[in-house]
Chain A
Amino acid sequence: MTANLTQQIRDRARDLLQSGTVSCFIAWEPARFEHWRTPVTIESPDEVDRIVVDEWCDQLIAKYALQRRGDGRIGMVARGCESRAVERLVADRQVSRQDVYLVGVGCTGMLDRDGGAPLKKCEECQRRNPVTYDEMVGETVEEPRPYRFGEVDRIESMEPEQRRAFFDRMFSQCAMCFACRNVCPACNCRSCFADAERVGWLEKDFGLDASRYWGLMRAFHTGDRCIECGECERACPMGLPLMTLMHKQVRDIDRLFGPYEGGGLSDAGPDPLRSYRTDDVEEFM
């Protein structure tokens, strides 16, 4: 990311807000500590100098668009992950593409606010450049497309007991805080099953059963639509390897249904798990 990117984005945000193209502009601003950034929604051209766009902007901001629905066009900085998240929200009919104005930037990866190491989600990133945008600021960047299924390979090679132990250890640490859901751009239901006030659904205690149920249901509810932004894993306060299940599903869906990536990247029609076709793969029947 170039040094003057922040200034370029501020200029663009000011222009867009002044000209009335957008009613608000979503980006990041510095937070309480050094290297901490927090999402910000700018509503007035006078406030654009709050915006910072640099290698510490670790959070995905696309989902904030949902809070501004119906208030006019929403401006937003769009890296690869934001653009895919917007595509996801469009495919889920939560926003329409015309309601969002994307200022695209190429991204070379973000750094961990504690210690400055590259973020895992950025090291696995498949789309550093936005897949959709209304204008680009700066140059596009090279796409290394690293292999991201190493952990899946490792778990697949385990014995069933080992594998069970791996996931039991993972889920037993879950604090059921639902941060993974709250950041996920594919988790855009109006009401989540986890919040249902029904007896016998999701238990509210901290048992392994409940957290395993939550973890698997969350993975299945988003599995065919995961854009692999890695936000669930980054947001998890317990540091659980949540992307293992997501990567596994992404790869399985690719193998079963052909080349496919969540986030509406392929034009093959609706998501594979939400379509009805008589010639569908059903080797299990």
Chain B
Amino acid sequence: MRIGVFVCHCGSNIAGTVDVERVAREALKLPGVVFSDTNKYTCSAPGQESVCSAIKENALDRVVIASCSPRMHEATFRKMIAEKTDLNPYMLEIANIREQCSWVHKDREQGTRKACDLVAMAVAKVSCDRELFTTNLPVERRALVIGGGIAGIQAALDIADAGFPVTLVERESSIGGKMVMLDKTFPTMDCSACICTPKMSEAAENPNIEIKSLTEVESVSGYIGSFDVTLREKAKYVDYDVCTGCGLCETKCPTKKIPSEFNQGLSTRTAIYKPFPQAVPSKPTIDAEHCKKLQSGKCGVCEKVCPTGAIRYDDVDRVTTQRYGAIVVASGYELIDWTGLYGEYGAGRYPDVITGLQFERIVNASGPTEGHILRPSDRTEPKTTVIVKCVGSRDPNKGVSYCSRACCMYAAKHAHQYLDKVPDGTCYVFYMDVRCAGKGYDEFYMRTLQDGAIYVRGRVSKIYPEGDGLVCMGEDTLSGEIVRVKADMVVLETAMVPSRGSDVLASKLNVQRGPEGFFTEAHPKLRPVETNTAGVYLAGVAQGPKDIPDTVAQAGAVASKVIGLFARGQIESNPMLSKVDVSRCSGCRACVDVCPYGALGLVQANLRENSRKVTRTVCQVNEGLCQGCGACSVACRSGALDLLGFSDEGIMQEVEMLCQ
């Protein structure tokens, strides 16, 4: 064994606290070490050159580099060894003497002693290292985007524009998500539908994008580059190949009193319907729950009036399986159901207490009131409106603990729109804080204040009816006075919560969710659109509350990751994976239960033991799914599982060395 130790000064980052020359001298006394050296900047070109030539000149077969965190430069040095020497790149250990040593110590003697220990441990571990080899796995150049909101649409468009086919899956009957329901977008006040619907039709017309509406992900198997995804497309009862979207069926459908989901229950729709005129796909579906023909067999009006004969009452769900190389999760959000949480706001009993999204529909020109601000109860113009922020947000006792981020601006926009359309109206905004970080955001808030919106710092503690209005009671925490505002309408800016079914989707995709239920990114700063499952990416509010510009930016970032993966066309496998020694495996299944990636399974294996042929249940590792987290090797009591590159033996030797 010929181990070389290279100690890095990192300028004064390390050398300032650690006597690197002494560390190099001490390292030479360690078993197996035949060479040691120091370097000003090992990661620089001359630094790398000197390491490579030392490896060749001294015929080193294992290398320890004592420098920064392996997260920083392990990949750099691996690449260097692979490309410039004959050594296997996995015969390398990094001793972190910067982040975990020089940066946290002030005393030079202590720091140096610790650096010596860290190097000794790395030498012990590298002695146990074995050569590991990567393989190239092919990538299916086809992406699946889950969720057809603005995040999903943007990601799909960007990937499709690069020339790769995309399937855009939406569980509702039209893509567009929440953005298409909004009236205007802050801070520029451009029409939300006017900028969202062109994207929707662009997606529909893009030859590389296949939109599957009323479709949900049934199951996912496989791994990066090769996910086999089963999709369930629900029965639409309309043959989209024949339907021209003329809309005659909608006008004739006798069932007309169904609350419209798109208009947030403020108007009604028919049983055969398109959620809104600009829907994509621009064709109707039958709501089986409310359709007379499908429920009782009597009606059939749409079939009679349809000029192309597109109605199919016997339509069934279609289940298809397709292979995808990458999956984008853009499943979005929904608003918290405040009615169950806030009894003091009437729990939904007062029709004039509405949500922000309902206000969006009221203020929208194509909404139920054609853009006139009329309150739901008696369709009169409210002269006093109260906007309550943080309903559910930042309220760990009742709602969620986090800030929903978009509501401060959203509330300012509502106040602005209300004062614009009701010039003689008064608008109160109850707030906890005003958070307007963003380009042009604070200016917009200031403009709303100039419009005359009255901001009251405090939470509304109670809303109760009085006469034909509502009284909002709260404390102005700046003056310390109790405030009672007689309002005609109250708008609650409710919290964003993960969309329903996120938990099920997370388990199908094997991705993690944070305590608040949003999907967790691989690294909060450096890998914000990846998940810990390779090949699964996050865009939009599915990852955490954010506004439209951030969502679109994130969708673009996701697309660049997916395009990068597809452009390479193959991925190098990570060889630091679990490995099972079947002779020790008793098939107890503990590893299968703890594996977060579903990478382990039990198989019947034909083995030869003590000169006898036996068939036993043993564990098997799926190398495509394994991420090398090591949970299984810890769970395995008999040590049948080991993590290559982090073998039990290597870790034991490290500890052993430290204890000497």
The answer to whether A binds B is yes
What residues of chain A lie closer than 8 Å to B617, measured between beta carbons?
Answer: 93
Which of B131-139, B329-337, B460-468, B591-599 faces chain A? B591-599
Interface status of A274 (Cβ within 8 A of chain B): yes
**Interface membership of chain A positions 175-205, coded 1 if the CB is closer than 8 angstroms to chain B and 0 otherwise:** 0000000000000111111001010110000
What residues of chain A lie closer than 8 Å to B596, measured between beta carbons?
Answer: 276
Interface status of B282 (Cβ within 8 A of chain A): no
Classify the interface of chain A: helix, strand, loop or mixed: loop
Interface status of A34 (Cβ within 8 A of chain B): no
**Interface membership of chain B positions 578-601, coded 1 if the CB is closer than 8 angstroms to chain A and 0 otherwise:** 000001111111100111100000
* Given A198-B649, A200-B656, A278-B513; A191-B638 close (CB under 8 Å): yes
Which residue of A189, A198, A276 contacts B586 across the interface (Cβ within 8 Å)?
A: A189
- Contact check, B594 vs A275: say whether CB atoms are below 8 A apart: yes
* Given A276-B594, A279-B515; A94-B638 close (CB under 8 Å): no
- Contact check, B635 vs A274: say whether CB atoms are below 8 A apart: yes
CB distance from B88 to the nearest CB of A (A): 23
Residue of A nearest to B515 (CB): A279
What residues of chain B lie closer than 8 Å to A49, measured between beta carbons?
Answer: none
Interface status of B631 (Cβ within 8 A of chain A): yes
CB distance from A198 to the nearest CB of B (A): 7
* Given A93-B617, A274-B593, A276-B595; A196-B639 close (CB under 8 Å): yes
What residues of chain B lie closer than 8 Å to A190, measured between beta carbons?
Answer: 583-586, 638, 640
Interface status of A124 (Cβ within 8 A of chain B): no
- Contact check, A94 vs B594: say whether CB atoms are below 8 A apart: no
Distance A59 CA – B637 CA, assembled complex (angstroms): 25
Distance A188 CA – B588 CA, assembled complex (angstroms): 9
- Contact check, A221 vs B594: say whether CB atoms are below 8 A apart: no
Interface status of B215 (Cβ within 8 A of chain A): no
- Contact check, A192 vs B589: say whether CB atoms are below 8 A apart: no
State which size class the interface on A falls in. Answer: 20 to 34
* Given A188-B586, A189-B586, A190-B586; A276-B593 close (CB under 8 Å): yes
CB distance from B592 to the nearest CB of A (A): 9
What residues of chain B lie closer than 8 Å to A192, measured between beta carbons?
Answer: 638
Residue of B nearest to A220 (CB): B637
- Contact check, A189 vs B512: say whether CB atoms are below 8 A apart: no
What residues of chain B lie closer than 8 Å to A92, measured between beta carbons?
Answer: 586, 588-589
Interface status of B652 (Cβ within 8 A of chain A): yes
Interface status of A270 (Cβ within 8 A of chain B): yes
Interface status of B653 (Cβ within 8 A of chain A): yes
- Contact check, B653 vs A93: say whether CB atoms are below 8 A apart: no
- Chain B 585-639 interface residues, beta-carbon cutoff 8 Å to A: 585-590, 593-596, 602, 617, 631, 635, 637-639
What residues of chain A lie closer than 8 Å to B513, measured between beta carbons?
Answer: 278
- Contact check, A191 vs B584: say whether CB atoms are below 8 A apart: yes
Residue of A nearest to B595 (CB): A276
Residue of A nearest to B514 (CB): A278
User: Knowing that A93-B586, A193-B638 are A-B contacts, what are 11 other residue pairs whose CB atoms are under 8 Å apart, sorted by A's residue number?
Assistant: A93-B602, A94-B588, A189-B638, A190-B585, A190-B586, A191-B638, A198-B649, A200-B652, A200-B653, A200-B656, A276-B593
Q: Can you list 17 residue pairs at the A/B interface with Cβ under 8 Å?
A: A92-B586, A93-B589, A93-B617, A94-B588, A188-B586, A189-B584, A191-B584, A191-B639, A193-B637, A198-B652, A200-B653, A201-B652, A270-B593, A271-B593, A276-B593, A276-B631, A278-B512
